[in-house]
Amino acid sequence: MITKERTAELIKKFGKSPNDSGATEVQIALLTERINGLKDHFQAHKKDFSSNRGLMKMIGQRRRLLRFLAAKNEENYASLIKELGLRK
């Protein structure tokens, strides 16, 4: 679970303004934070297949957003994946 403070921090870091939560970079950063937060849950609950389905949907959404960003602005794409630690 992401706290309000962490969400505001990510929006401030990746958005154009403090209220710019709709930017592609912000959406990717928020999805990455949620995906990384589920690691502990899946270590404790290995057979939670319904949550695993939700995780796969989030990963697919992030992949689509990354593909969109790569086509739209390759410089932002490269800096974002480097900053978030994604391997592409």
* Confidence class for position 1, pLDDT limits 50, 70, 90: confident
Answer whether 0.85 is exceeded by the pTM.
yes
- Give the pLDDT score at 58: 97
- Per CATH, the number for 4-84 is 1.10.287.10
The whole-angstrom separation of Cα 40 and Cα 33 is 13
Read off φ and ψ for residue 46, nearest 5 degrees: -65, -25
Who contacts 24 (Cβ-Cβ below 8 Å, separation ≥6)? 65, 68, 69, 72
* CA-closest candidate to residue 30, choices 15, 44, 17: 15
Annotated domain spans of the chain: 4-84
* Confidence class for position 88, pLDDT limits 50, 70, 90: low
Read off φ and ψ for residue 83, nearest 5 degrees: -70, -35
DSSP assigned state of 26: H
- Give the pLDDT score at 24: 97
- Give the pLDDT score at 87: 80
pLDDT for 10-69, tens place per residue?
A: 999 999 998 999 999 999 999 999 999 999 999 999 999 999 999 999 999 999 999 999
